[in-house]
Amino acid sequence: MPQQSPVTVQLAEGTLSRLSEFARRQQRGDSEIIEEAIINYLDYMNRFEKEVQKGLDAANAGHLTSHEKLKESLRGMGLDLD
């Protein structure tokens, strides 16, 4: 197990109650739930940043679709945009 360092976090009472209740139902400690949540959040945000960068790189390379072409494509999928 990697070395752990203590961290202090201030939570709203309602959030703390929800955390404690969830941890109790899972038969796990609050710290374990918090660490897992932070890891999942960081993983998600890293993926999000990479996808945003891919979109920016594509846009900068000129790979864009006009608003009208996008609407036409969505209508072709059966979506009503009006």
% of the chain with per-residue pLDDT over 90: 90
Q: Which amino acid is it at 7?
A: V
How would you class 19 by CB atoms within 10 Å of its CB: exposed for 0-12, middle for 13-18, buried for 19 or more? Answer: middle
Give yes or no for residue 1 having a pLDDT over 80. Answer: no
pLDDT, tens digit (0-9, with 9 covering 90-100), for 26-50:
999 999 999 999 999 999 999 999 9
Give yes or no for residue 24 having a pLDDT over 80. Answer: yes
> In whole angstroms, what is the distance from residue 75 CA to residue 82 CA?
10
CA distance from start to end of the chain: 56
How would you class 78 by CB atoms within 10 Å of its CB: exposed for 0-12, middle for 13-18, buried for 19 or more? Answer: exposed
